Structure 1
Amino acid sequence: MELFATKGYAATTVDEIAATAGVARRTFFRHFRSKEEAIFPDHDDTLERAKAVLDAAPAHENPLDTVCRGIKEVMKMYASSPKVSVERYQLTREVPALREREIASVARYERLFTRYLLGHFDESAPGADGEIDEPLLAEVAASAVVTAHNHVLRRWLRAGGQGDVEGALDRAFAVVRRAFGDLPVISGRPPRPAGPAEGEVLVTVTRTDASLPEVMRLIEQALARREEAPSPP
């Protein structure tokens, strides 16, 4: 982040990052595949922590409350290093490629929460027009939780990482709960898994001259199609 601030993101090379950190270039690539990945090193672990919250949820808990608790893992990640989080936020506003990477990360959380909510809705509960549209309801509710979280997070980052972000987040979630307080929650049907089955393999084909950002986008698209596909009977 210091190099990006002084030299600019585009002008900073991996070699310079490695040298400043006091490690060899090959050591850098043992941990990160690119500069972009070095800026977002913690989303994979945070996604797993959020999934663990969903998997360990008490049977009596409203699934919307569970999702709100799950996304708090993201806020904890940012709040653990306010200075770095603010610098990273400023950088993503300036570099389109990083903004795209951030949007892709947000989409992963939304898919996780959508699948979880979909597994907890009552198929026998009709909608306002008598029709049942569980996928729409799950996606809208999950998006509302993520949007509320991101709204509070952006305010906190714009304020330099200062303020009672946890209290602001709880107030935002209260708004979401009022809007979705009558979700048709089920009892008795085992929920669908929050993520892909353990050991599942995804194969993606791309050109050998494709850039890393392009490859990452293709993988994200493939994962999105996989998670949107109907669950096997």
Structure 2
Amino acid sequence: MSLWSRTRNAVYGEITRTSMELFLTRGFDATTIDDIAAAAGISRRSFFRYFGTKEDVVLGDLATRGDLIRQALEARPDGEDPWDALCAALHSVKDAAYGSDEEMLAVFKMVHQTPSLRARSIEKHLQWQAMLTPEIRRRLGADPSDPLDVRAEALVASVLTCLDVAGEAWGRADGKVPLEDLFDAAAAAVHGGSS
């Protein structure tokens, strides 16, 4: 990695840490881009070199996590039930999330309580759906050119909704119940107990 790339990554990380501290202490909506720039020692213009929006600071790496889930899904055994493969892929990348459970819980709560973050999160999950659907189509033996075969999209959307519902419940429970257990309960309710 070049010096320029290392420097860029370091600045990106510093802006992210500074922003998250402000969001979690002041609140997302109460924190402005100017606040972030001042605290990070950068200009407003520099902020926009790294992030398109405040929401991207919180949710920008969801696309990366979606790719990790896709890779984990593709690594699952071919004969595995597509639903079970999706659930297992999600479980396998849980440690690539936000850090400690306390940090992750604070972020989940912030996302679910902030309409702009919630909307951006749904948008990112739609990107995940587009990434994961081709592999589920393959596992189902579906014709990728058949626009009326909605099975793969339905399976992926259902699993992602289970994740979203579990995350919201985890936040309501203040993390007292493991997120994985809530996800498994939601998945079992949708898929008849086979996950």
Normalised by the length of structure 2, the TM-score is 0.69
| CA distance in 2: counterparts of 1:102 and 1:158, whole angstroms | 18
Q: Give RMSD over aligned pairs.
A: 3.3
Is residue 2:31 matched to residue 1:17? no
Is residue 2:90 matched to residue 1:71? yes
The answer to which structure has the higher helix fraction is 2
Closer, same or farther in 2 for the Cα pair 1:148/1:99, shift >3 Å?
A: closer
Decide which of 134, 138, 161 is 2:152's aligned counterpart: 138
Partner of 2:10: none
Closer, same or farther in 2 for the Cα pair 1:8/1:90, shift >3 Å?
A: same
Offset, 1:46:
0.3
Flag the structure with larger Rg: 1
Deviations 1:158-213 (A, max 9, x none): 222232222333344344443789xxxxxxxxxxxxxxxxxxxxxxxxxxxxxxxx
Is residue 2:126 matched to residue 1:107? yes
Normalised by the length of structure 1, the TM-score is 0.60
Is residue 2:52 matched to residue 1:33? yes
Alignment of 1:151-166 (within 5 A): 151-166=165-180
Fraction of identical pairs, as percent? 29
Contact 2:169–2:182 (Cα < 8 Å) also in 1: no
| CA distance in 2: counterparts of 1:27 and 1:94, whole angstroms | 28
The residue identity in structure 2 corresponding to 1:109 is W
Alignment of 1:1-233 (within 5 A): 1-4=20-23, 7-21=26-40, 23-25=41-43, 28-72=47-91, 75-78=94-97, 80-122=99-141, 135-178=149-192
**Count of residues in correspondence between the two structures:** 173
Offset, 1:145:
1.5
| CA distance in 2: counterparts of 1:164 and 1:177, whole angstroms | 20
Runs of 4+ in 1 over 6 A off after TM superposition: none
Structure 2 unpaired stretches of 5+: 1-19
